[in-house]
Amino acid sequence: MSTFKYGDEKITDRDIMVAIPSMAIAIGIIVFPRYLAEKTTASDGWVAVILGGTLAVLITWAVAKLAANFPNQSFLSYSSYLVSKPVAVVMTLLFSFQGILLTAFELAAISDISHQYLFDRTPIEMVSLTFLLVVVYAVSGSRAGLFRLNMMFLPIILITTGLLVFLSIGYIEKDNLLPVFKTDFRGYAQGTLDSALSYTGIGILFFYISLVRHPKKTSGMAAFGMSWAVILYTIIYLTCIAVFGEQSTANIRFPLIELAKSVEVPGGFLERLESVFFVIWIMAIFNTTAMAFDVAVMAINSVFPKVKKLNIIFTLSPIVFFISMIPQKYMEIGKLGDWVGYYGWGMTGTTAIVLWVMYKVKGAKQSGK
C-alpha cells in the first residue's frame, strides 16, 4: 500500500540521530543530579557528566560504526557471522532481556513518581497499567512510527526543558557553583560512572541500524545525537547545583522536578509547575520505554522469526508488568535502575568489544542484500 519510499519501514540517519537522545533522556534525567552531587564537590559534577558523556558518545559511535558495516542485516545475522550462531542467539536473548528490564524499570519509576507528584490516592497499578498499555499500543504499530514519535516528542521535551532552565536563571546563586575543581580523583571516577549510567540504551543501535537504508553516515549522526543528551545533562546539572547548592541537591529525591517546583511563570498564570513539566517528561520516558520494549520484541522476533510480532508483545507485557511490580519502595526502584544500567552498559560494552575484535579478525561479509 505504501507507495512512497519514505513511508515504509525503513528509516534514515536522522531518525537514528533523534532516537539516541530520545532513548538516553529518561528517568535518569530526573534523578541523576542527586547521585552526582553526592559524589562530587560543588559544581564539579559537570566534569563527570562530560566524561561519562564522552564515554557514551564513543561507545555510541563504535556500536553504530560496527552495525553500519553490515547494512540491512539484522543483529542476529551479522553477529552469527562474527561469533557463531549459538553465541549470537544468546547475545540477542540477553539484549531482549535488557529491553524487558529497562521497560519494567521505567514503568516502576514512572508510577512511583506520578504517585508522589500527581496523585497519591489512585492505585499505583492503575498508573503503570495504563502506561504499559499505551506502550503496547505504540509497539504494535509500525516500527517506523516509533521513530516518528521520537521526532514529534523530542522537540517538545527539549524546548520545555530549555524553558525550565531559562526560568530558573532568576534563582541561581553564584556561590553555589564555587569552589571549582576540589573533587578528588575517586569522586570524579565514581561520578563519571554514575552519570554514564544515565545514558541508557545505546544497545538499541545494534538492532535499529539494520533498518537504515544507507547507514554510511549513521555512526557520526548517532554520536552527534548522543552529544545533545550530554549537553542537556550538563546544563541541567549546573542549573540544579546553581539553584539548590550541592548539599540540598544530594538530598532531594528528584532534583529536576524540585527545580520545576521552585520556578514561577511570569504573570502568575499557573503555579507549581512541576506537574506540567513532569507530564511532559512522561513523553520522554514513554519514548525510551517504547523503544526498549520494541527492541526486546525485535530481538525475540529475530530468534523466532515464525512467531507473530503481536503474540510476542502480548506474551512479554505481563512479564514486564510483573517485574515492574516487584520493587516496593523507591530505594528498591533505584536499585533496579542501577542494575538495569550496569547490565545495559556491560552488555553493550562487551558485545561491542567482542564484535569489533571478531570483525577485525574476519573482515566484513558482503552485505546480505
Partner 1 sequence: MTRGSIFNRLKGKKQGNTSQSPVGKHTGFTNQITKNLDDNLMNVKQMMGDPGDLVVRELTIGGAGTRAAIIYISGITDEDLINNNILKTIQLNKKEFESNQLDEIHKKVIAITDVQKSNNLDDVSFGILNGNTAFYLDGQETVLLIGTTGGESRSIEQPDSETLIRGPRDGFVESIETNIALVRRDIKDPNLRFKQHEVGKRSKQKLVLCYVEGIVNPELVNEVSRRLESIDIDYISDSAYVEQWIEDSFLSPFPQILNTERPDKISSDLIQGKVAIIVDGTPFALVAPLSIGDSLHTMEDYNQRWFSATLLRLLRYLSAFFALFLPGLYIALVSYHPGMIPSTLTYSIAATREGVPFPAAVEAMLMAITFEILHEAGIRLPKVIGQTIGIVGGLVIGEAAVSAGIVSPIMVIVTALTAIATFSVPSYSVAIAFRTLRFGFIIAAAFLGLYGIVIVYIMINIHIVNLKSMGIPYSTPFAPTFTNDWKDLVLRAPITKLTKRPSYLKTMDSQSKDNKPG
- Which residues of the shown chain bind partner 1 in the complex (CB under 8 A)? 1-7, 10-15, 114, 118-119, 122, 126-127, 130-131, 134, 137-138, 141-142, 144-153, 213-214, 268-273, 275-276, 279-280, 282-283, 286
Rg (CA), the chain: 20
DSSP state of 39: H
Distance in Å, CB of 136 to partner 1, minimum: 10
Report the nearest approach of partner 1 to the CB of residue 128 (Å).
11
Q: What's the distance, Cα to Cα, between the start and end of the chain in Å?
A: 23
Q: Which uninterrupted H or E stretch holds 230? A: helix 218-251
Q: Which is nearer to partner 1, 4 or 185 (CB)?
A: 4
Residue closer to partner 1, measured from CB, 279 or 357: 279
Q: Which phi and psi (to 5°) does residue 212 adopt?
A: -80, 130
Residue 141 Cβ vs partner 1, minimum distance, rounded to whole Å: 4
For the record, the C-alpha cell of 315 comes out as 506474551
- Least distance between partner 1 and beta carbon 351 (Å): 27
Q: Is the Cβ of residue 148 or residue 309 nearer to partner 1 in the bound state?
A: 148
If you count DSSP H runs as helices and E runs as strands, how many of each does the chain have, helices first?
A: 15, 0
Tell me how far apart the alpha carbons of residues 211 and 208 are, in angstroms, rounded to a whole number: 5
- To partner 1, the closest distance from the beta carbon of 114 in angstroms equals 5
Per the CB < 8 A criterion, the answer to whether 40 and 179 are in contact is no
Buried residues in 206-236 as b, exposed as e (16+ CB within 10 A): bbbbbbbeebebbbebbbbbbbbbbebbbeb
Q: How far apart are CB 12 and partner 1 at their closest, in Å?
A: 5
DSSP state of 200: -
CA angle 151, 308, 300 (to 5 degrees): 70
Which residue number, 149 or 316, has a Cβ lying nearer to partner 1? 149
What is the Cα–Cα distance from 291 to 29, expressed in whole angstroms?
Answer: 17
Grid coordinates 556491560 are at which residue? 346
Neighbours of 121 (CB within 10 A): 5
* CA distance linking residue 127 with residue 325, whole number of Å: 12
Minimum Å gap between C-beta 84 and partner 1 is 33
Q: Which is nearer to partner 1, 17 or 250 (CB)?
A: 17
115/253 with CB nearer partner 1: 115
Cβ closest to partner 1, residue 119 vs residue 304: 119
Question: What minimum distance in Å lies between the beta carbon of 10 and partner 1?
Answer: 6
The three cell numbers locating residue 156: 517538545
CB of 248 to partner 1, least distance (A): 21
Closer to partner 1 at the Cβ: 39 or 261?
A: 261
> Closest CB to partner 1 among 51 and 64?
64
Length of the chain in terms of residues written: 369
CB atoms within 10 A of CB 174: 7
Nearest CB to partner 1, comparing residues 82 and 285:
285
Phi-psi map region of 361: left, alpha, beta (phi>0 left; psi -120 to 50 alpha): alpha
Pairwise CA distance, residues 50 & 43, whole Å: 12
* Smallest distance, partner 1 to C-beta of residue 148, A: 4
